[in-house]
Structure 1
């Protein structure tokens, strides 16, 4: 009798809800979102060889709009709480006697098949999280850091700037300089400004050619009551030419395509990924960080299986790093950068460059409209 009564109450609540236009609209939208994966599954051709992938996705009529709609499709599914988690698990570290604690820094390990020796996504270290940031680096033995923002870049947007959440200068960049984040000490062994892995910039003040700074750091753990531990050498890159929410800014002698491929060369040659563990961060650790990670993971899959599936890569990445790749032009940037790599490696004919140039121009013309 009790269960019968409860069902009657539930039915009455449902009837009242159906009479509420707002609730009815929300339910209808939820049903649409819940039904979309099945429809998309029928259209999704899955992972494809590079040439077929290019023909289907980039050489097709109205390819630009198709990639944009694909991004919105992924985003809608992601924000449906019934289908996906909204946050990935924070990394936890031992805290003595077998206890675990969550690090203050918002960081996740990307545990995907093509993450190489290790791949970590993080927010930019703040004045409250920098200590745990270095704890993460040292405890996980992460030997490479790629910063795709620079310290205090958030001050370029005074309306949204918050000193408590801005990325700070968390590493020393002058030879011999030392910074302490107890119990860790970080010293700079050497540092140089570069425009590419093979070209040292003539000076760090030369804005037209300066692309990034490469620093060799040594991290030591200092605790007088515990046994001494070996230091950890870390290669650190601070990439200066990727504004928040946008795309990399090319130099006077490079195109956007050159800059995109150049990013990957920095990761491979200066930071030795996928053979060494790598942490990537920007400000929030989702937009620029997510785009770069999606490119790296997709290319690793292509190297291993000779197959490409950008949509699936981003969906899987978001299971570990919530909301990775934060807008559709970053998503299209992922597509185009992968294609540029394939052209350079000979997987695509050089004639594909003409089509890619058209898509790059369309992308570069579209972004300013979104900010006006």
Structure 2
């Protein structure tokens, strides 16, 4: 009997152990579920915080040892501009930099309006300083990752602090040919109204290395049209090195650049150029607008619209992207790309959304459209096209056929 009783107690002990193990497993499972729920709640709260304002977000990357470019007032009253600071290349970079992401928010909402309403809105903004206030609210800064630009081996190819191409849309050079070198150039592909990668927005070459990189980019991307919106010198400052020949051939690495035909007009020059590499030969047309002051706007809207029409005449995707540059590749370059994109849009549509266009442009080329004056000019030029040229559905020509 005693042994039987002991056996019974042993059985109870076994059941107790099993119950204890079951309880432990249940508690562990509940604990895991609670942790998972907490993580989900935290992620949900963070997402709600990001989305609580439906305006576009600003993302700025602040790098150690450098001063951010901010949208700020200059010494000129009622002007808002993005101030550029050149990088000091006299000291060699010690290491790569890592961007730190800082997110801010605006309440600005893009919206589409009819062309008639757009014309009325521009009239109103002209009277009440609306361009300036709207420009300040558009997302600005380095909005995407840009690790390639911060690598120490690429820093010498950046002229201005913070004016960097985004990793996801930067032009990547082929390093498998005899030119060698880096795959980095300070340039971004930009989607247009008609197709993706319709443009390349680029920094102007400013060193011997960037001169070669510039022609590598033109050659490898089959760019048959290059638009230059700066002069070589403005005041006492070199804005861009000359990369095309006048009377004699020029050589950049394996490329021989030969002059062909040049047509000089009052405010722009068109050059036909032959590019040779080994046995291969390509033709490039260089469209050089010479009447656009840095950080400001052309005095004559008609001439710029005429120039734009000449640039895009008979273009097709087989011509490759239009390479557009000024000095930094953001102010005049961004304004021209936005103008061309919006003019193509209104040629087939009865409405327009300027804020959305500029916001998307800045998500592909940082700091595009450098001043509020350029932003106002963009809209004034579109209104001028609408009211004088019927949306530019039928291109006007003051320049003779070439």
Give, in whole Å, the separation in 1 of the partners of 2:330 and 2:339: 14
Equivalent position to 1:145, from 223, 226, 230: 226
Equivalent position to 2:288, from 234, 238, 255: 238
Give, in whole Å, the separation in 2 of the partners of 1:346 and 1:266: 17
- Pair 1:217-2:273 in alignment: yes
Quote the residue 2:133 is aligned against: 69
Higher strand share: 2
Tell me, yes or no, if the aligned pair for 1:91 and 1:102 is still in contact at 8 Å. no
Change (3 A) 1:286 1:274: farther
Which range moved further: 107-116 or 322-331? 107-116
Deviation at 1:334, TM superposition (A): 0.4
Tell me, yes or no, if the aligned pair for 2:347 and 2:391 is still in contact at 8 Å. no
Deviation at 1:61, TM superposition (A): 6.5
Quote the residue 2:354 is aligned against: 310
Give, in whole Å, the separation in 1 of the partners of 2:244 and 2:260: 12
Tell me, yes or no, if the aligned pair for 2:175 and 2:181 is still in contact at 8 Å. yes
Q: Which has the higher contact order (CA 8 A, sep 6+)?
A: 1
Secondary structure in 2 aligned to 1:241?
Answer: coil
Deviation at 1:191, TM superposition (A): 1.1
Equivalent position to 2:388, from 339, 344, 347: 344
Deviation at 1:117, TM superposition (A): 7.5
Quote the residue 1:50 is aligned against: 115
Number of equivalenced pairs: 271
Secondary structure in 1 aligned to 2:335?
Answer: helix
Tell me, yes or no, if the aligned pair for 1:116 and 1:273 is still in contact at 8 Å. no
Higher helix share: 1
The one-character-per-residue Cα deviations of 1:295-327 (angstroms, maximum 9, x if unpaired) are 001112222333211111111011111000001
Quote the residue 2:241 is aligned against: 168
Secondary structure in 2 aligned to 1:219?
Answer: strand
The one-character-per-residue Cα deviations of 1:49-106 (angstroms, maximum 9, x if unpaired) are 2112222x213366551121110001xx323x6x655742331123239xx9854431
Change (3 A) 1:102 1:330: farther
Give the structure with higher Rg (CA). 2
- Pair 1:96-2:146 in alignment: no
TM-score by length of 2: 0.60
Secondary structure in 2 aligned to 1:106?
Answer: strand
Quote the residue 2:43 is aligned against: none
**Considering only aligned residues, what root-mean-square deviation do their CA atoms show, in Å?**
3.2
Give, in whole Å, the separation in 2 of the partners of 1:322 and 1:48: 26
Give, in whole Å, the separation in 2 of the partners of 1:311 and 1:61: 14
